[in-house]
Structure 1
Amino acid sequence: MSLPTSHGDPAKLIVKQLAALVDELESVTPPSRTAARNSLRKALTAEVSRLEQAVGRLDPVLRPSSLFDPSAPATTGRIVALTTIAQQRHPLVSLQPFYGAGVYALYYKGPFDAYSLLSGTEQPIYVGKADPKDVAAKDAVSQGTSLFDRLNEHRKNIAKATSTLREEDFDCRFLIVQTGYQRAAEEYLINFFKPIWNNEMRICYGLGKHGDSATTRANKRSPWDTLHPGRQWATGLTEDQKPEGQIRSEIEDHLKRVPPHATLEAILADFLSDLGQLAPGSFTTAENDKASVEADPAVGDAPDDSVAAGELF
C-alpha cells in the first residue's frame, strides 16, 4: 500500500498509523472462543515479526556473527589446553608420584625412523586426560594420583617396546586442573595437534589398551603393538589390525598433511589464528548479508545515529 506524501514525511505517517492501529487493537474485545483468540494471536505475532524485520533493516550498525563466551566449555578447553602447552617439559622417566588429575601431552625425541618428521619438535605424539579418583574432588589431594598414574602407565608400556622405543626418549607436559575441565582441554588438544598415537586419528592407536582377556584372544593386534612389539598380552594375538607397512605409510602421509609444530612460537601463532573472531568477514548487516567492518572510502562516513528518537517528528 502506497502512502500519500502530501501531508508530510511518509515515515512519520507510517509511525502515526501504526500507533493508531495499536490503540485500536487495545480497545478491541478479544474473541470469546479459544480457537479464534489463538488464530488472532498467531496472525498478530506474524505481523509483529515482519515489523521487527522492517525495523532491523533501518539499523546501519554491523552485527558480529559470533559472540565470545568465556563460560562455554569449548572456550574453557582452549584456555586450559594453551596453559598446558605453556608448562615445562619433563623427562617421562624422571617423574615422582604427585597428587592431581588433569591433562597431559607426550613428546618423542628419539631416532625411530617412522617418527623422523616428529622427533624433537613441539608436536605431541599423544595427548590424554586423567580423571580424578573422586568425581567430587575439589583439590589436588582429593583427586588422588590419577595424572601421575596415567603417565607412569604410559612409561611402563613404552619401556616394554624395547626393540623400537626407549622411555628415555619421551618428555611430557601436564597440567593439574579443577575437576571437570580436563575433558574439554583434551578434546581441544586432540583437534589442534591431531597426534598420531591418539585413537581419533585412526593411525597408530592402541597405547592405552590394557590387554585382552582369555576369552577375547581372537581380537586383532592394535597398530601401536604392531609397530612397537613388546607387551606380552599383545604378542599372544594372532593377527594385526593393519600391516606394519600400512601404518608407516599412514604416519608419513599424516605428518606431511599435518606438519609438526617445530616451536612454541608456531603453536602460539596457530592458536591465536584459531581464536580470531573479528575478521573482515565476521560481520553481517541487518539483512544477514556478509559485510566488512572496515569502511569503504568511496561510501563516506558511517551514518550518524546520535539523533534522538523523538526528533523524528
Structure 2
Amino acid sequence: MATSKKPASPLASMLTELHTLTERIAAADVTDDPRAAKKIRHGLEHASSHLSKVAESLDPVLRPDSIFDPADPNTAGRVVALTLVAQERHSLARIPDFYGAGVYAIYYKGDFAPYAALRGREHPIYVGKADPDNPAAKDAVRQGTKLSARLNEHARSILKARTTLDIEDFECRFLIVQTGFQKSAEDYLINFFKPIWNSETKICFGLGKHGDSSETRVNKRSPWDTMHPGREWADSTAENQKPLQLIIDQIDAHLARHPPYADIHEIFDRFMGDMKQLGAERFYTPARGRVELDDAPPPADAGAQARLLF
C-alpha cells in the first residue's frame, strides 16, 4: 500500500522556488552596460539584505542585548572605581609624596551646615584623577608623583578657606592606576556619586581652579570660592558667578534628589545593579522583540524546530 506524501508547506514551496530563481539569476548573461549592471547589483544586494532579515526572524533562540567585554574602558572604569571605594580613608592633611597617577575621592566629616548631609557618609564631596607625567608610563615611578601632588594641592586650597573649612575634617581615598584607565574611572565616579564640588554637577565647582592671570581678573569668582573665601586671587575678583544663597539652595536640592550613600553596602548594591547584564528583560528575538526570560518557551529539539519552520 503506497503511503501518501505529506504536502510541502507554503514556506518550503517558496524556498524551492527561490533556489530555482537564484540558479537562473546566477546563470544569466552579464550585461555589458556598467549602469545596468550596477542597478542589477544594487537590486540583488537589497533582496539579499531583506532575505537575511527574514531568515533572522525565523530564529527562535533568545539573544542578549549586550555582551560583557572586560577590555571595554567603561567596564575597566567601573572596576577601578569600586576598587577605589574599597581602599582605606586617609587624612587629607597628611598625604606624603609618593609615586603614581590615578584616581581619588575626598570626603567631608565636619560641621559646615550646607554639607551636613555628607557627614558620616561614604559619599565623597569631590572626586578626581591625576594623569601621569609620561602618557606611556608603565609603572608608578615613571608616572611621577602626580596623585599625591594633586591631593596636596587640594589640601592647600582647603587650608586657605579657614573661615569655613578645617583641613582636619577631610579624608581621602586614592588608587594608583595603570596608565590609561584613570579617565574612564573618573567619569564613572562622577556619574555614580555626582559630588557637589565637581564641575560636572554645576553647583559648587571651582576647587581645582588655579587662579586667573592679570589679564583675566575680570572673570567671576567660582561658586567654591564664594562658599569658601580665602584664596587670594579669588578674593580679589570683583563678582560672584552665583550668589551664596543660591549655591546653598542648590546643594540642598541636589542632596535631597541624590541622597548620599550611607555605607559601602549601599554603594556595592548600586554597583552590582550597574554591572548586571542578563536581566529578565534583556533578551529578545528578531520576530518577538523583548522576551521575558522566565516566559520564554523551553528549547525544542532540532527536528521540532525544523517542523515549526516548514
Shared fold (TM-score, shorter chain, > 0.5):
yes
Q: How many residues align?
A: 305
Compute the displacement of 1:33 (Å).
Answer: 1.4
What TM-score, normalized by structure 2, do the two folds share?
Answer: 0.93
Q: Is the 8 A contact 2:58 2:287 kept in 1?
A: no
Change over 3 Å in CA distance of 1:310–1:225 after alignment to 2: closer
The alignment status of 1:167 with 2:163, answered yes or no, reads no
- Distance verdict in 2 for CA 1:200–1:177, change over 3 Å: same
* SS in structure 2 of the partner of residue 142 of structure 1: helix
1:7-57 per-position Cα deviation (integer Å, ceiling 9, x unaligned): 533333223222222222221122111111111111111111221122122
1:294 corresponding residue in structure 2: 294
Q: In 2, are the aligned partners of 1:295 and 1:302 still within 8 Å (CA)?
A: no
Give the equivalent residue in structure 1 for 2:42. 42
Shift of 1:74: 1.3
* Structure 1 contact 60–303 (Cα < 8 Å) conserved: no
Q: Match for residue 158 of structure 1? A: 158
Q: Would you say 1:139 and 2:151 are equivalent positions?
A: no
SS of the equivalent of 1:212 reads coil
TM-score between the two structures when normalised by the length of structure 1:
0.92
CA contact 1:105–1:172 (8 Å) conserved in 2: yes
Residues 108 and 169 in structure 1, CA contact (< 8 A), matched pair in contact too: yes
Does the Cα contact within 8 Å between 1:117 and 1:255 map onto a contact in 2?
Answer: yes
**Identical columns (%):** 51
| Counterpart amino acid of residue 33 in structure 1 | D
Match of 2:285 in 1: 285
CA distance in 1, matches of 2:114, 2:61: 54
Please give the secondary structure, in 1, of the residue aligned with 2:31.
Answer: coil
Residue 122 in structure 1 maps to residue 118 in structure 2: no
CA contact (8 A) 2:107 2:125 kept: yes
1:188 paired with 2:184, answer no
1:228/1:58 CA distance change after superposition, 3 Å: same
Q: Is the 8 A contact 1:100 1:143 kept in 2?
A: yes
* Offset at residue 68 of structure 1 (A): 2.0
1:210 correspondence with 2:210: yes
Matches within 5 A, 1:1-313: 8-287=8-287, 289-295=289-295, 301-307=297-303
Kindly provide the amino acid, as one letter, of the partner of residue 154 in structure 2. H
Q: Which moved more, 1:29-38 or 1:129-138?
A: 29-38
Specify the code of the residue in structure 2 equivalent to 1:272: M
Specify the SS of the correspondent of 1:29.
Answer: coil
CA deviations on 1:44-84 (whole Å, 9 max, x unpaired) are 11111221122122111122222222222211111111111
Secondary structure at 1:290's aligned position in 2? Answer: strand
**Residue identity opposite 2:8 in structure 1:** G
Bigger mean CA deviation after superposition, 153-162 or 51-60:
51-60
Give the whole-Å Cα distance in 1 for the aligned partners of 2:187 and 2:281: 27
Distance 1:208 1:288 in 2: 51
Secondary structure at 2:294 match in 1: coil
Partner Cα separation in structure 1 for residue 91 and residue 43 of structure 2 = 70
- Counterparts of 1:309 and 1:292 in 2: how far apart (Å)? 20
1:279 offset after TM fit, Å? 1.8
Counterpart CA distance in 1 for 2:119 and 2:6 is 81
Unaligned runs of 5+ in 1: none
Give the letter for the 1:17 counterpart: E
Displacement of 1:309 = 9.1
Give the AA of the match of 1:214: S
Contact in 1 for aligned 2:104/2:129 (Cα 8 Å): yes
Deviation larger for 145-154 or 34-43: 34-43
Deviation string 1:189-236 (CA, Å, 9 cap, x unpaired) is 001100000001110000001111111121111111111111111111
Partner secondary structure for residue 171 of structure 2: strand
Give the CA deviation at 1:85: 1.0
Kept in 1: contact 2:109–2:169 (CA 8 A): yes
Runs (4+) of structure 1 exceeding 4 A deviation are: 308-313
Query: Structure 1 226/288 Cα, relative in aligned 2: closer, same or farther at 3 Å?
Result: farther
List per-residue Cα deviations over 1:73-100 (Å, max 9, x = no partner): 2111111111111111111122111000
Query: Is the 2:65–2:283 Cα contact (8 Å) retained in structure 1?
Result: yes
Q: Give SS of 2:303's match.
A: coil
Q: Cα offset for 1:276?
A: 2.1
Superposition deviation, residue 256 in structure 1: 0.5
Hey, what's the Cα distance between the residues in 2 that align with 1:8 and 1:213? 84
CA-CA distance at 1:303 after TM superposition: 4.7
Deviations for 1:241-282, whole angstroms, at most 9, x for unmatched residues? 111111111111100000000100000001111222222221
